[in-house]
Amino acid sequence: MKFLFSYNTIVATASLILAGCGATTLVSTPIENIDTTPLKIAELTTVEKKNWGHLDLVTDTIPGMSVDKAYRELIGNKKGQKVIVAVLDSGVDLKHEDLDNVLWTNKGERPGDGKDNDNNGYIDDIHGYNFLGESYNEQLEYVRMLRLNIGDDAIQAKAKAKLDEEYQKYSGYKTQLDQMYPVIENANNLIIKNLSKMVYTKKDLANVNSKQQDVAESKGIMSQMFEITNAEDNTKIISALDRDRKGVIDLLNYNLKKDFNGRIIVGDNPYDINDTKYGNGNPQSRSEDESHGTHVAGIIAAERNNGKGANGVANNVAIMSIRAVPNGDEYDKDIALGIRYAVDNGAKIINGSFGKSFSPNAEWVYEALKYAAKKDVLFIHAAGNDGANLDSPDEPNFPNDAINNGPEISDNVITVGALDPKYGTTLVADYSNYGKINVDIFAPGHDVFSTVPNNKYEFEGGTSMAAPAVAGVAALIRSQYPALKAAQVKKIILESGLSIKAKVILGGDETKTGSLNEISKSGKIVNAYNALLMAKGVNSGNIKL
């Protein structure tokens, strides 16, 4: 789970706000030019913020994937062949105005008759399948392992130490948030009163001029919140704070609560891979809070240029929704069966924006990934949001394709780290995991604008957003050049990216830096324009991989 306000940031911010230091200025990292590309000094415009992942590094000095350039100069009106992309995630809002026309539909199934018409083993799976039933809140895997006494003494001891550490950490986090909230709420109300407007921007805030101490302090507090959140207006700040408060409450009440069992209403044994008669054919998201899968789907495939909120990367895809990731850690069984479902029902790309540090049945997922490779299906996976080096034995992130840093188990997996929209030493998002062995490439992931339930749109950030950006590029390649194999598409994406040789800050720690070729396999950031050019050359035989 990634919070907008990191634990360290919120503690530091809380201490400043609660001490009344409203005018404190955040210390920024010294700017360093990367290679020969000039830095963008001005703040991103609203249009740029909503589309930054599609922009061009050279033209716009924003580290996007050159998607708009690719459409302008290479794709034009060419639709290509339709590609099925499975979103293995929380449920997707199948009724969203920007997604309803890009859904995969199982034509062999008759909706609502309670029968498995196409004999694929799943009843009424019209737009995908739901492996969670009516469950959603879940424990983290190591908490489940403690509850069920899974693993040997060493694993149990490691899980207990992790739980004790995390519970104490997030209990303190909740205390800080609870203390901050009324202070920020009061500051916001004072600024609203001073400006005589309910919604105000950072620019509006700069115009607040009052000799009253409480107003001056409130201006300092809200200025700091605008810096931290990069919000468009004050309402987004309060919404972000509300989301983080709810997130930490969920952590304490569900994810980290040892005696909680969210799976009981599903009725299966989640640790028995042969117990497959569970779930249902409705992968629709269950609430507004269940927004992750919808956001991911929009990054890949939100209808382009329809005058509505967001543009997806790919222009001719069908989204298959596979509901398998709860509010907590996913079960290995659900992921393994979800991958196989996607493969068996025609998906050519699977996006997996999830991950966990304990995986008691990882072999089930490894076998599913190998199965996908044999069937020519590409799997795109998020690197995770711990700001950690995944090559360290103490920082695993499952699933992966290199067991214990060994050789790849298959040639169809791309693991993606997240980029920040600001080109410079902070190019890699401070929360993004990295690793020369275990992370392949980086893509736009921070503050990405996309679809959320009920015809709404929000900015969200994480490697969860970077992975579908790459899935969208993969879909473009497979649509325009359908003869290319999954392994070829992987190589094209990795080899065609832009090389960044200068040092970037890792994990938000300014004392820890590395170049992209030291922290990823490719040493590059994804570029759709270059990828399509290379794909054309490989397809014609002019380029050999």
Q: 498-518, pLDDT tens digit by residue?
A: 999 889 999 999 999 999 999
Mean per-residue pLDDT, 257-261: 97
In a domain, 51, yes or no: no
Mean per-residue pLDDT, 12-32: 42
In a domain, 502, yes or no: yes
Which residue type does 331 have? Answer: Y
458: left (phi over 0), alpha (psi -120 to 50) or beta: beta
Q: Which of 239, 260, 281 is the last residue of a domain?
A: 260
The larger pLDDT score, comparing residue 10 to residue 73, is at 73
In a domain, 45, yes or no: no
Cα gap 246→235, rounded to integer Å: 16
Cα gap 458→4, rounded to integer Å: 13
pLDDT at 13 over 60: no
124 and 108: one domain?
A: yes
The larger pLDDT score, comparing residue 33 to residue 204, is at 204
134 and 180: one domain?
A: no
CA distances in angstroms from 410 to 11, 337, 474, 482, 523, listed in the order given:
42, 18, 17, 21, 20
Cα gap 254→171, rounded to integer Å: 13
Both ends of the chain: CA-CA distance in Å? 37
Q: What is the pLDDT of residues 337-383, one digit of tens each?
A: 999 999 999 999 999 999 999 999 999 999 999 999 999 999 999 99
In a domain, 133, yes or no: yes
Q: Where are the alpha helices (DSSP H) in 22-102?
A: 46-51, 57-60, 67-70
274 and 250: one domain?
A: no
Percent with pLDDT over 90 in the chain: 85
Q: Number of folded domains in the chain?
A: 2
Please work out, in degrees rounded to the nearest 5, the angle formed at the alpha carbon of residue 144 by the alpha carbons of 142 and 147. 115
Q: What is the pLDDT of residue 24?
A: 31
In a domain, 41, yes or no: no
pLDDT at 408 over 90: yes
Quick one: pLDDT band at residue 36, thresholds 50, 70, 90? low
Q: Which of 210, 240, 260 is the last residue of a domain?
A: 260
Q: What is the pLDDT of residue 41?
A: 67
Q: Which of 22-31, 105-114, 272-281, 482-491 has the lowest mean pLDDT?
A: 22-31
Nearest alpha carbon to residue 345 among 430, 418, 281: 281
Quick one: pLDDT band at residue 545, thresholds 50, 70, 90? confident
276 and 244: one domain?
A: no
Q: Which of 260, 282, 315 is the last residue of a domain?
A: 260
120 and 160: one domain?
A: no
Percent with pLDDT over 70 in the chain: 93
In a domain, 390, yes or no: yes
Burial 269-297 (b: 16+ CB within 10 A, else e): ebbebeeeebbbbbbbbbeebbbbbbbbb
In a domain, 40, yes or no: no
**β-strand partners of 515:** 503
- For residue 253, give the DSSP letter: I
Burial 350-377 (b: 16+ CB within 10 A, else e): bbbbbbbbbbbbbebbbebbebbbebbb
Q: What is the pLDDT of residues 176-203, one digit of tens each?
A: 889 989 999 999 999 999 999 999 999 9
374 and 318: one domain?
A: yes
Q: What is the pLDDT of residues 283-295, one digit of tens each?
A: 999 999 999 999 9
Please work out, in degrees rounded to the nearest 5, the angle formed at the alpha carbon of residue 497 by the alpha carbons of 496 and 498. 125
Cα gap 53→42, rounded to integer Å: 17
Virtual torsion, Cα 122, 123, 128, 132, nearest 10 deg: -80
Quick one: pLDDT band at residue 229, thresholds 50, 70, 90? confident
125 and 151: one domain?
A: no
Quick one: pLDDT band at residue 227, thresholds 50, 70, 90? confident
Q: What is the pLDDT of residue 22?
A: 35
CB contact at 8 A, 142 and 357: yes
Quick one: pLDDT band at residue 3, thresholds 50, 70, 90? very low
Virtual torsion, Cα 331, 381, 344, 118, nearest 10 deg: 70
Quick one: pLDDT band at residue 409, thresholds 50, 70, 90? very high
pLDDT at 490 over 80: yes
Average pLDDT, the chain: 92
Instruction: Count CA within 13 A, CB hemisphere, residue 538.
Output: 26
Cα gap 119→486, rounded to integer Å: 27
427 and 325: one domain?
A: yes
Nearest alpha carbon to residue 394 among 402, 404, 384, 382: 404
H or E element that contains 13: helix 7-18
360 and 484: one domain?
A: yes
Domain that holds residue 448: 56-139+268-540
In a domain, 443, yes or no: yes
130 and 179: one domain?
A: no
Q: What is the pLDDT of residues 100-134, one digit of tens each?
A: 999 999 999 999 999 999 999 999 999 999 999 99
26 and 81: one domain?
A: no
Q: Name 158's Cβ contacts closer than 8 Å, sequence gap at least 6.
A: 142
- For residue 264, give the DSSP letter: G
Complete DSSP assignment for 381-420: EE--SS--BTTSTTS--BS-SBGGG-SBS-S-EEEEEEE-
Q: What is the pLDDT of residues 414-452, one digit of tens each?
A: 999 999 998 889 999 999 999 999 999 999 999 999 999
283 and 416: one domain?
A: yes
The CATH number covering residue 324 comes to 3.40.50.200
